[in-house]
Amino acid sequence: MPSVRLVNIAKRYGEITAVENVNLQIENKEYVCIIGPSGCGKTTLIKCIAGIVEPTEGEIYIDGRLLNKVPIQERGVGYVFQEIALFPHMNIYENVSYGPFVKGWDPEKAGSLVEEMLNMMALRERAKDRPDVLSEGAQQKTAIARAFVSGSLLLLLDEPLGSLDAKVRTVLRHELRRMVKDLGLTAIHVTHDQEEAMAIADRIVIMKAGGIVEVGTPLELYLHPKALFTANFVGEANFMEGDVIRVTNERVDVKIHDAVLYSSRKADFKEKKVVAAIRPEFVVMQKSSSRREAWKGTVENVIFMGSTVRYEVRTDNGELIVVKRPFATDTYRWDAGSRVYLSFPPSAILLYPYPQAGIEKEISVE
């Protein structure tokens, strides 16, 4: 069964480095998503795994077998391209059944699997149509169905849902994961959609500038990101510069302007200057507070976002803090101009050493 191991993978095009020093272990039957800014090397990386692109350096192992120089058709992988790639002269049924047909599968077994996949992708009624009369979404669903019935145990997906509308994408991503798990496949799924990755991945790989920043479960990367870049890229966070003024066994006190934040996270950093971060949904906003550590501020902007309401609050010490609250009938208690109190739970305050290049450079997607 296919585990994947990448050892010191690099890919260069002349002076341009697309991927640099990537080491990654993907376990059998694991669903892994790779996310990162545009141009970070995620598509190049899975093309190296597929054999479409030969790495400049490093080794690729699938199920313990070294696959450098092995052609794509001998790697046992199913690949769904970002650019839709179907046989234009074949109808949908013929496109989906192509893999089993060329591999000489039993016609009855192959036909049953193809029919099931067409039903799953809601393509049964279009089975006799050719790709040129289908929408891009239907074409991509055909490509996904073809990959699933190919008999490959390793599935490589490059933005497979990118051409679908939001509602179809939301439904299909869960179907993708269910089918991968039901069939016992290993999947590597490249996407620009963080919500998609958080919803379906066993683990997520965060990439930036050709390298891996961090790897973890969705919950780990959201609640306990080890890197400042991850804290900003996965979800949203408020960042504040400060100085550690006190460390005890229970908490770390960080002075920010003339106010203090209290964090229950450890901060064993060489320098006292740190970055404190907190997710907008963990900030507590109230009309009044008797807590000495609460910050006073003024609501500058209110944005309705459907399931949540986003508040931008300028605190009296000069920080702009984003607060998110689930939408409810009483959510709009605060308008622009309202005076509020903000509290920051110590368990929700993340601490990072202050980066030499500055916060903006460190979290930049460029």
Q: Pairing between strand 203-208 and 31-35?
A: parallel
Domains and CATH numbers, the chain: 4-228 (3.40.50.300), 236-363 (2.40.50.100)
What CA–CA distance (Å, rounded) separates 13 from 47? 14
- The per-residue DSSP string of 209-251 comes to TTEEEEEE-HHHHHHS-SSHHHHHHSS--EEEEEEEEEE-SS-
Residue 1's pLDDT is what? 57
Structure tokens at 32: 């892994």
Integer-rounded Cα radius of gyration of the chain? 24
Residue 52's pLDDT is what? 92
> Residue 74 half-sphere exposure, CB side, CA atoms within 13 Å?
7
Greater confidence (172 vs 316) lies with: 316
**Hunting for tokens 């900030």 — which residue is that?**
283
Q: Is the pLDDT assigned to residue 331 strictly greater than 70?
A: no
Sign (positive/negative) of CA torsion 221, 207, 177, 134?
A: positive
Among the listed residues 194, 98, 106, 203, the one whose alpha carbon sits nearest the alpha carbon of residue 148: 98
Question: How far is C-alpha 32 from the geometric centre of its chain's CA atoms?
Answer: 9
Phi and psi at 93, nearest 5°, equal -60, -45
Phi and psi at 273, nearest 5°, equal -75, 130
Among the listed residues 196, 232, 226, 175, the one whose alpha carbon sits nearest the alpha carbon of residue 32: 196
Residue 233's pLDDT is what? 94
HEC secondary structure over 26-94? ECCCCEEEEECCCCCCHHHHHHHHHCCCCCCEEEEEECCEECCCCCHHHCCEEEECCCCCCCCCCCHHH
- pTM for this model (two decimals): 0.89
Tell me which DSSP letter residue 355 carries: P
Say if residues 58 and 12 touch (Cβ distance below 8 Å): no
Among the listed residues 191, 158, 151, 155, the one whose alpha carbon sits nearest the alpha carbon of residue 81: 158
- The per-residue DSSP string of 271-292 comes to SSEEEEEE-GGG-EEES----T
What CA–CA distance (Å, rounded) separates 144 from 161? 9
Beta bridge partners of 351: 276
Q: Is the pLDDT assigned to residue 205 strictly greater than 90?
A: yes
Q: What is the mean pLDDT of residues 178-188?
A: 90
Mean pLDDT of the chain: 90
pLDDT digits (tens, 9 = 90+) for 90-113: 999 989 988 888 777 778 877 888
The rounded percent of the chain whose pLDDT value lies above 70 is: 98
Q: Is the pLDDT assigned to residue 152 strictly greater than 90?
A: no
- Is residue 55 exposed (0-12), middle (13-18) or buried (19+ Cβ within 10 Å)? buried
